[in-house]
């Protein structure tokens, strides 16, 4: 089946956070939203068909997760990521960020330190600080337009109170797919210091040709036994509203502790439509995903050429993965708040401003390119025209 990603779909009045909350969030209903990480594309047709069939049944009571749910997840990890996992390792949660909060609460104590690598997905900071833990920032290094982990800085900042690292792999917002040797070095440091690795791999299916995602836990039995991997079909297939994610935990002790934490909070009841969507997506969604990746690469190429031709002061940090592109705007000479004001208030387009990802993001902005090319072009026009003023 040939999918049409150029189709323009009106999302207004669908209770869309991205579109219907624009005026509440940015103070102007005319702002074009290119910020939050969901796509302006329909999900794969097999997913839509499966959801329609389930909806037609008419009864949406308490729902279990059938064997096919786990089999679909196991099969996906094997086919797309060459990672052999077992059914028992898969623990359902209603979203990755809620799961991160529970992981922080149950595998660290108040006052413990948790490492993150800024600029990084901003909810990482929230789940640490709101649970009374301390952030240890091991900032990424930007060299010649590419980000790298700083292992020397990491080892300097480790002390006995550091209990966990939350890893973004692939990295949001800078788009790095961490190489196996980088992950291996990180893992060895964490094993040496008994630091639990929590690897958020929610963007792992959205990898551009020429790059290969390596699940952290797939590298060795030791890494698998000392890690929790966060996965979901939500970013891949545009299913975030169905609140369905899976924590993959090979270590039985960690798994039992996490499962008990879910039970103690009465969390774990399945979303009826989330189960249906995951099975259909993982079993029948690969054709759509392969076409999506080609379209996203076309959008990325379009963005690169447009910015080079119209606003060469802005530098594109070329992503290995994700539909989120990190733009270096420091040559524009504006502070973070001024840059935000110019883009949103004057340009009437909403990106995610870089400072929310940590102080290392000041002078940067993140743009979501998972939209029809005509919409991407309109957003870039607004961006470039306001800067030319």
- Write the pLDDT tens digit of every residue in 184-242: 999 999 999 999 999 999 999 999 999 999 999 999 999 999 999 999 999 999 999 99
> Average pLDDT, stretch 331-345?
95
Closest CA to 93 of 207, 215, 167, 200: 200
pLDDT band at 275 (very low <50, low <70, confident <90, very high): very high
Per-residue confidence (pLDDT) for residue 300, from 0 to 100 = 98
Q: What is the pLDDT of residues 82-116, one digit of tens each?
A: 999 999 999 999 999 999 999 999 999 999 999 99
> Average pLDDT, stretch 261-289?
96
Per-residue confidence (pLDDT) for residue 122, from 0 to 100 = 97
- CATH number (3.90.1150.10, 3.40.50.150, 1.20.140.10, 3.40.50.300) of 17-44+286-388 reads 3.90.1150.10
Residue 246 CB contacts under 8 Å (≥ 6 apart), including other chains: 73, 90, 91, 92, 93, 231, 232
End-to-end CA distance of the chain: 45
d(CA 57, CA 53): 7
Q: What is the pLDDT of residues 140-156, one digit of tens each?
A: 999 999 999 999 999 99
Return the HEC string of 277-335.
HHHHHHHHCHHHHHHHHHHHHHHHHHHHHHHHHHCCCCEEECCCECCEEEEECHHHCCC
| CA angle (213 as vertex; 368, 117 as ends), nearest 5 | 65
Instruction: Say if CB 135 and CB 128 are below 8 A apart.
Output: yes
Per-residue confidence (pLDDT) for residue 26, from 0 to 100 = 94
pLDDT band at 389 (very low <50, low <70, confident <90, very high): confident
Query: Same CATH topology for 17-44+286-388 and 59-284?
Result: no
Residue-by-residue DSSP string for 41-71:
SPPPHHHHHHHHHHHHH---------HHHHH
> Average pLDDT, stretch 312-340?
97
Q: Left if phi > 0, otherwise alpha if psi is -120 to 50, otherwise beta: which for 129? A: alpha
Instruction: Say if CB 174 and CB 140 are below 8 A apart.
Output: yes
Burial 253-276 (b: 16+ CB within 10 A, else e): ebbeebeebbeeeeeeebbbbbbb
Element (H, E) at 200: strand 196-200
Q: Which CATH architecture has domain 59-284?
A: 3-Layer(aba) Sandwich (3.40)
Residue-by-residue DSSP string for 154-196:
HHHH--TTEEEEEEESS-TTT-----HHHHHHHHHHHHHTT-E
Q: Which two tokens stand for residue 41?
A: 């594309």
Residue 388 pLDDT > 90, yes or no? no
pLDDT band at 18 (very low <50, low <70, confident <90, very high): very high
Per-residue confidence (pLDDT) for residue 268, from 0 to 100 = 84
Instruction: Say if CB 160 and CB 136 are below 8 A apart.
Output: no
Instruction: Say if CB 96 and CB 245 are below 8 A apart.
Output: yes
pLDDT band at 73 (very low <50, low <70, confident <90, very high): very high
Domain residue spans in the chain? 17-44+286-388, 59-284
Instruction: Say if CB 34 and CB 370 are below 8 A apart.
Output: no
Per-residue confidence (pLDDT) for residue 165, from 0 to 100 = 98
d(CA 64, CA 239): 19
d(CA 16, CA 94): 18
Q: What is the pLDDT of residues 155-186, one digit of tens each?
A: 999 999 999 999 999 999 999 999 999 999 99
Residue 306 pLDDT > 90, yes or no? yes
Query: What sign does the dihedral 320-321-325-326 (CA atoms) show?
Result: negative
Q: Which two tokens stand for residue 302?
A: 């379009």
Per-residue confidence (pLDDT) for residue 164, from 0 to 100 = 98
């Amino acid at each position: 089946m040939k999918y049409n990603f150029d189709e323009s779909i009106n999302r207004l009045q669908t209770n869309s956070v991205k579109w219907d909350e624009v005026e509440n969030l940015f103070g102007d209903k005319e702002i074009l939203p290119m910020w939050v990480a969901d796509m302006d594309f329909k999900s794969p047709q097999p997913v839509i068909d499966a959801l329609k069939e389930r909806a037609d049944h008419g009864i949406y009571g308490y729902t279990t997760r059938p064997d096919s749910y786990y089999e679909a997840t196991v099969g996906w990890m094997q086919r797309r990521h060459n990672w052999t996992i077992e059914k028992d390792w898969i623990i359902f949660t209603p979203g990755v960020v809620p799961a991160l909060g529970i992981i922080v609460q149950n595998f660290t104590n108040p006052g413990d330190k948790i490492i993150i690598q800024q600029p990084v997905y901003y909810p990482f900071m929230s789940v640490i600080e709101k649970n009374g833990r301390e952030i240890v920032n091991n900032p990424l290094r930007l060299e010649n337009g590419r980000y790298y982990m700083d292992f020397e800085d990491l080892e300097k900042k480790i002390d006995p109170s550091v209990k966990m690292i939350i890893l973004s792999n692939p990295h949001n917002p800078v788009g790095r797919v961490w190489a196996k040797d980088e992950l291996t070095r990180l893992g060895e440091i964490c094993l040496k210091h008994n630091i639990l690795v929590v690897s958020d791999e929610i963007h792992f299916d959205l990898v551009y040709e020429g790059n290969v995602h390596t699940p952290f836990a797939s590298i060795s039995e030791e890494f698998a036994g000392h890690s929790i991997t966060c996965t979901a079909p939500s970013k891949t297939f545009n299913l975030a509203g169905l609140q369905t994610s899976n924590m993959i935990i090979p270590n039985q002790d960690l798994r039992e502790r996490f499962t008990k934490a879910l039970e103690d909070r009465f969390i774990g009841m399945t979303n009826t439509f989330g189960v249906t969507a995951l099975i259909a997506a993982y079993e029948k969604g690969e054709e759509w995903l392969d076409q999506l990746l080609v379209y996203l690469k076309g959008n990325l190429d379009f963005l690169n050429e447009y910015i080079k031709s119209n606003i060469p002061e802005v530098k594109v940090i070329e992503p290995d993965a994700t539909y989120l592109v990190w733009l270096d705007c420091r040559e524009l000479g504006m502070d973070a708040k001024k840059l935000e004001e110019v883009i949103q208030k004057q340009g009437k387009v909403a990106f995610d401003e870089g400072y929310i990802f940590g102080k290392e993001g000041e002078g940067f902005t993140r743009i979501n390119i998972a939209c029809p090319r005509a919409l991407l072009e309109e957003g870039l026009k607004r961006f470039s025209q306001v800067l030319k003023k």
